Amino acid sequence: MATFERITIKKNERALLLRNGDFERVLHSGSHWLIAATDALQVERFSLNQARFQHELVDYLLTQEPEVVAAEFTAVQLAEHEVGLRSDNGVLVEILPPATRALYWKGLVHTQIDTIDVQAAPQLPDDLLKRITNPQLRSQAVQNLGGVLQVQVPEGHVGLLRIDGQVQPLLPAGNYGFWRYGRHIEVALVDLRLQTQEVSGQEIMTRDKVSLRLNLQANYRFSDVLAAHAQLQKPADYLYRELQFALRAAVGTRSLDELLADKTSIDQAVMAHMAAKLPGFGMQLESVGVKDIVLPGEMKTILTQVVQAEKQAEANLIRRREETAATRSLLNTAKVMENNPVALRMKELETLERVAERIDKISVFGGLDQVLNGLVQIRQP
């Protein structure tokens, strides 16, 4: 005996009618009378607000029901070297990976699929990159961006691009995007500006067996990025090691006194060493200098004592020179006074003036001549 069932589909819905588990047809919005008879009927509803049709019948419909697919869905069947750009109502919302098979409901959302061959060109076109990265063009982020490598090369840098291990032309400053599908892509940023390499805490023994701790600073830049990275896995590490070797060679062949007397000799020796090592490796050393020379504690004490002794000896020498000069001046003055009574008299008056400055009260008997004569008599034998 036949049974009837009334089904109502909303305007924003579609439904699949399954009879005994098999697909029969798509039900549109409105009321539908279904005749069951002895069959088992099943109705599955789908909201058109969710454009993608997620169901186990996708492959069946694509292969066995082309007319249904053409009437109800926007179909996607991508090859292994293709990606799909899905746009809903003209707005890019998703990147579909290669070999995607999917159906999208027609109705409320106008879905458009644009196909791109990623095997032909690994780099994204500029207009597509802007659509993906510019937040002003969309209200939400594009889905499935894991298949896109986005790179921003800042000013003063270049991008070292490798595709499947092969070095490509350098990327100047700007924004770039590359398809990851089917290939391995790496981009390393290289700074073209002047850079600093520190070589700190180097324990080195001088020629006269004194252990020193030195800190060196070098300024360098890349002159040829491709040459540097083609020959060296890590150019900065290579530069650090060569600076170490150059510093040890410069210090180990000099005594402590030579180093303390002329620290620039270390800089010159390091520069000469690096000038012979860097050509051909795409790096250029601009300047190098020793920042600090740290002596052991006991050596500091010894050097302090040596300096103090040297300064004391210099002070004694200067003092003896001054005493000798003063004695010679007195001797010359005495020779002048010996043959010149007037000069002797003036010296006596000068001496009396100095004595008077220090005496509060002087009583003179017999007049000033008597005082002067008395002084003369005292000084004369």
Mean per-residue pLDDT over the chain, rounded: 84
Q: Would you give the DSSP letter of residue 137?
A: G
For residue 6, being part of any structural domain is answered with: no
Buried b (16+ CB within 10 A) or exposed e, 93-130: bbbbbbebebbbbbbebebebeebebeeebbbeeebbe
Q: Are residues 200 and 227 part of one domain? A: yes
Total domains in the chain come to: 2
Domain boundary among 295, 323, 353: 295
Measured from the Cβ of residue 177, the count of other Cβ atoms closer than 10 Å reads: 19
Q: Are residues 291 and 201 part of one domain? A: yes
Is the overall model pTM greater than 0.85, yes or no? no
pLDDT digits (tens, 9 = 90+) for 180-237: 998 999 999 999 999 999 998 888 888 878 788 889 999 999 999 999 998 998 999 9
pLDDT at 44 over 80: yes
Q: Which domain holds residue 241?
A: 195-295
Q: Are residues 308 and 253 part of one domain? A: no
For residue 39, being part of any structural domain is answered with: no
- Measured CA to CA, the distance from residue 228 to residue 237 in angstroms comes to 12
CATH of the domain at 199: 3.30.479.30
pLDDT digits (tens, 9 = 90+) for 238-295: 999 999 999 999 888 888 778 777 878 889 999 999 998 888 899 999 999 988 887 7
pLDDT bracket for residue 307 (50, 70, 90): low
| Phi and psi torsions of 60, nearest 5° | -65, -50
Q: Are residues 335 and 287 part of one domain? A: no
pLDDT confidence of residue 380: 43
pLDDT confidence of residue 378: 43
Q: Are residues 350 and 290 part of one domain? A: no
For residue 239, being part of any structural domain is answered with: yes
For residue 99, being part of any structural domain is answered with: no
Domain boundary among 275, 295, 315: 295
